[in-house]
């Protein structure tokens, strides 16, 4: 409310009135069940598929890594975020990590990108596979360093014997796995390639509070969103810029739902909004500059502490926008989308 | 899109001869409506006669008493023209809000008028300013040009070559945009010629028309309050998913009032 300068709203409302505009303030708080989904719960709700995700880590002899993920990326930036998770976990430079997705002849299995699940479910599957890589790496390193496996620590790309300076880099261990001249072949398979399937134990629950401010043209009913503030708790954030972009996109989509988008049919069932010259998706001019902030209360049941952020904007925005319009008009309800004509009619009914 | 023959004449005479000779020949100007219609197979000409190579159609002349725009002048060129902006700023600003950036860099005034889309912007200015449409065979007054939905006074083969706009004392165009297509749900062009006032309305009816009640009221006093209380009848106005006839009728008054406010400023 401080970010949205709610205290100054009355002054802004009076200013708008001098320009023939009705200003309204709308709030929306949401909580969403994301990270879809524990398969047994999904099954009991009628889903006819498991909702786990799969990840595979292939470490190459050079110590570079290819990650195969079932979470497809079509603009959400998994290539960056997932590479960050892997690079961070293994202590490798990001450029040593390749992300492969979207090819069913390569990836193990994929349930898809939806339900704000990619990082929470797909990311966790990758982390589980990484843990297996590190566990096997410790065994190889213990052999190479002639130490007990229990004494091997892994830290920032280096396996070392605890309390000593004896160590092997991740690359040296990978090389030994693929050129097993000095290798415990009696106890361990060569190679360094692991996969994991992860099924959530619970949904994740991102939540947020949104404040929207609109100006409604008294003459035409046209609504302009003049300010929008969104504060979300997505749990741990891996990549703030991507999260911000996801929120921007979600908000634009939510604003579109509230103000402009709607499928309309005529009495014979013919779709009237069959092209973008009739179906109005929001454009840059339809959305304001967003004021955003985040909170990071970690999710308690996945190792990354992440909750997901893909849908947040689209969930909170429509309610915040509609509440702002009804506040401006002093009415209880108005149908979506609140096009200029719909708002104009509502004003005339109210008058 | 169905197959067609493509022609690119270099002068008006050849273009007219070609269009008349072919089974179903159509002039191609900026192609912003025709090509879309062809893609949807709503239009299937046997021959396209491309006007883009005809230099004579591309002249733009702004003088103190009239602005003459060649048929093939693009909207973006009109919007950016310092001559037009000086002589009839309202016309330049109208051209600057047609469609979107891509449309404005391809679409032409001749194409827009010949197509006579009910929601196109230029017809409001042509009527509002009382322009003269110059064709390959005659001059047509604005009031006699727009006939009905997509219908004009143009005869078979007749080609618009230029449009001449008299320079008013003051004028303004106000448009209430379709949020999806950016066409006019209602657009009102108001021009004051010093005692004589014209009001051209687009988007509201089957084709652009003049609002004579407003013209009379503004002629006696060119002020927003002269039109603010004029109630336009909804009968015969367009009804579509974006706006009912009643809403359009209301918007005509609002846009006219705002156009007068803008013209006075």
Whether residue A341 lies within 8 A of chain B, CB to CB, comes out as yes
Residue A101 structure tokens: 């997705």
| pLDDT of A348 over the 90 cut | no
Chain A contact set for B243 (CB, 8 A): 341
Chain A contact set for B183 (CB, 8 A): 277
Chain B contact set for A281 (CB, 8 A): 180
A222-256 pLDDT, tens digit each: 999 999 999 999 999 999 999 999 999 999 999 99
Please give the Cα distance from B77 to B82 (Å, whole number): 10
Res A68: pLDDT? 97
> What average pLDDT does this structure show over B51-78?
97
Q: Report CB contact under 8 Å: A260, B180.
A: yes
Res A283: pLDDT? 93
Backbone angles phi, psi at A173, to 5 degrees: -65, -45
Res A350: pLDDT? 62
Whether residue B232 lies within 8 A of chain A, CB to CB, comes out as no
Please give the Cα distance from B170 to B262 (Å, whole number): 9
Chain A contact set for B180 (CB, 8 A): 260, 276-281
> What average pLDDT does this structure show over A93-106?
95
- Cis preceding linkage at A109, omega within 30: no
How far, CA to CA in Å, does A43 sit from each of A50, A115, B61?
Answer: 7, 16, 73
Closest CB from B183, B241, B247 relative to A344: B247
B95-128 pLDDT, tens digit each: 999 999 999 999 999 999 999 999 999 999 999 9
Is residue B155 within 8 Å of residue B191, measured between CB atoms? no
Whether residue B180 lies within 8 A of chain A, CB to CB, comes out as yes
Q: Report CB contact under 8 Å: A273, B241.
A: yes
> What average pLDDT does this structure show over A24-35?
96
Res A1: pLDDT? 86
| pLDDT of A7 over the 80 cut | yes
Res A349: pLDDT? 79
> What average pLDDT does this structure show over A274-293?
94
Q: Report CB contact under 8 Å: A277, B181.
A: yes
Whether residue B181 lies within 8 A of chain A, CB to CB, comes out as yes
Res A351: pLDDT? 57
Q: Report CB contact under 8 Å: B181, A278.
A: yes
Asked whether the CA dihedral B84, B86, B90, B92 is positive or negative, the reply is positive
Closest CB from B180, B243, B250 relative to A280: B180
Which of A 223-262 lie inside 8 A of B, CB atoms?
260
Please give the Cα distance from B152 to A283 (Å, whole number): 34
Res A84: pLDDT? 97
B186-230 pLDDT, tens digit each: 999 999 999 899 999 999 999 999 999 999 999 999 999 999 999
Whether residue B193 lies within 8 A of chain A, CB to CB, comes out as no
> What average pLDDT does this structure show over A177-197?
97
Geometric angle at alpha carbon A11, from A209 and A8, rounded to 5°: 35
A117 class by beta-carbon count within 10 Å (0-12 exposed, 13-18 middle, 19+ buried): buried
Res B4: pLDDT? 97
Place of tokens 């704000």: A116
Residues contacting A159, CB < 8 A, separation 6+:
A137, A138, A141, A145, A152, A153, A167, A168, A169, A170, A173
| pLDDT of A37 over the 90 cut | no
Distance from CA of B254 to the nearest CA of A (A): 7
Confidence of residue B260 (pLDDT cuts 50, 70, 90): very high
Distance from CA of A341 to the nearest CA of B (A): 6
Chain B contact set for A279 (CB, 8 A): 180
> What average pLDDT does this structure show over A158-171?
97
Structure ipTM? 0.91
| pLDDT of A213 over the 70 cut | yes
A103-161 pLDDT, tens digit each: 999 999 998 898 899 999 999 999 999 999 999 999 999 999 999 999 999 999 999 99
Residue A335 structure tokens: 């149908």
Chain B contact set for A347 (CB, 8 A): none
Place of tokens 């309204």: A24
The DSSP annotation for B17-58 comes to HHHHHSTTEEEESS-TTHHHHHHTTS---SEEEE-TT-GGGG
B232-243 pLDDT, tens digit each: 999 999 999 999
Closest CB from A276, A278, A344 relative to B241: A278
Please give the Cα distance from B192 to B194 (Å, whole number): 6
Q: Report CB contact under 8 Å: B180, A276.
A: yes
Mean pLDDT of chain A: 95
What are A215's strand-pairing partners?
A: A23, A224
Closest CB from A220, A272, A344 relative to B241: A272
Confidence of residue B149 (pLDDT cuts 50, 70, 90): very high
């Amino acid at each position: 409310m401080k970010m949205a300068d709610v205290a100054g709203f009355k002054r802004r409302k009076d200013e708008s009135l001098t320009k023939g505009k009705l200003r309204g303030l709308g709030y929306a708080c949401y909580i969403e069940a994301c990270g879809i989904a524990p398969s047994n719960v999904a099954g009991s709700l009628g889903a006819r598929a498991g909702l786990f995700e799969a990840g595979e880590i292939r470490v190459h002899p050079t110590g570079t890594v290819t990650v195969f993920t079932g979470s497809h990326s079509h603009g959400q930036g998994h290539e960056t975020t997932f590479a960050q998770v892997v690079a961070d976990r293994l202590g490798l430079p990001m450029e040593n990590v390749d992300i492969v997705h979207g090819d069913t002849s390569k990836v193990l299995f994929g349930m898809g990108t939806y339900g704000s699940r990619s990082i929470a479910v797909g990311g966790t599957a990758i982390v589980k596979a990484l843990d297996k890589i590190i566990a096997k790496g410790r065994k190889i390193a213990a052999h190479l360093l002639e130490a007990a496996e229990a004494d091997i620590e892994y830290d920032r790309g280096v396996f070392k014997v605890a309390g000593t300076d004896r160590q092997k880099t991740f690359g040296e261990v990978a090389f030994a796995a693929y050129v097993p001249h000095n290798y415990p072949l009696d106890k361990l398979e060569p190679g360094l390639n692991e996969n994991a399937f992860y099924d959530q134990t619970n949904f994740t629950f991102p939540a947020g509070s949104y404040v929207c401010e609109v100006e409604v043209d008294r003459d035409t009913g046209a609504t302009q969103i003049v300010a929008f503030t969104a504060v979300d708790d997505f749990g741990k954030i891996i990549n703030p810029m991507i999260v911000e972009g996801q929120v921007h996109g979600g908000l634009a989509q939510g604003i579109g739902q509230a103000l402009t988008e709607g499928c309309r049919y005529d009495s014979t069932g013919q779709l009237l909004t069959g092209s973008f010259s009739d179906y109005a998706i929001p454009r840059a001019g339809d959305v304001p500059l967003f004021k955003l902030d985040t909170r990071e209360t970690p999710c308690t049941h996945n190792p990354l502490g992440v909750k997901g952020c893909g849908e947040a904007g689209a969930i909170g925005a429509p309610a915040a926008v509609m509440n702002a319009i009804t506040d401006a008009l002093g009415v209880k309800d108005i149908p979506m989308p609140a096009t200029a004509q719909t708002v104009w009619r509502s004003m005339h009914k109210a008058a | 899109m169905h197959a067609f023959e493509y022609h690119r004449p270099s002068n008006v005479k050849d273009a007219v001869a070609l269009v008349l000779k072919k089974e179903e020949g159509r002039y191609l100007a900026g192609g912003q409506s025709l090509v879309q219609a062809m893609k949807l197979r709503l239009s299937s000409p046997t021959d396209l006669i491309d006007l883009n190579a005809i230099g004579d159609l591309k002249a733009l002349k702004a003088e103190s008493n009239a602005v003459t725009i060649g048929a093939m002048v693009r909207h973006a060129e009109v919007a950016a023209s310092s001559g037009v902006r000086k002589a009839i700023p309202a016309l330049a600003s109208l051209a600057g809000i047609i469609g979107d950036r891509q449309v404005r860099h391809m679409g032409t005034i001749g194409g827009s008028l010949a197509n006579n889309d009910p929601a196109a912007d230029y017809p409001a200015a042509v009527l509002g300013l009382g322009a003269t449409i110059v064709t390959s065979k005659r001059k047509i007054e604005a009031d006699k040009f727009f006939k009905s939905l997509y219908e004009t006074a143009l005869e078979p083969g007749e080609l618009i070559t230029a449009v001449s706009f008299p320079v008013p004392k003051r004028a303004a165009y106000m448009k209430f945009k379709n949020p999806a297509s950016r066409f006019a749900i209602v657009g009102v062009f108001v021009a004051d010629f010093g005692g004589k006032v014209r009001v051209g309305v687009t988007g509201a009816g089957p084709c652009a028309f003049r609002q004579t009640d407003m013209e009379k009221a503004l002629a006696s006093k060119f002020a927003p309050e002269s039109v603010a209380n004029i109630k336009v009848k909804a009968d015969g106005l367009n009804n579509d998913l974006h706006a009912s006839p009643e809403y359009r009728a209301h918007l005509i008054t609002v846009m006219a009032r705002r156009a007068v406010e803008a013209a006075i400023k």
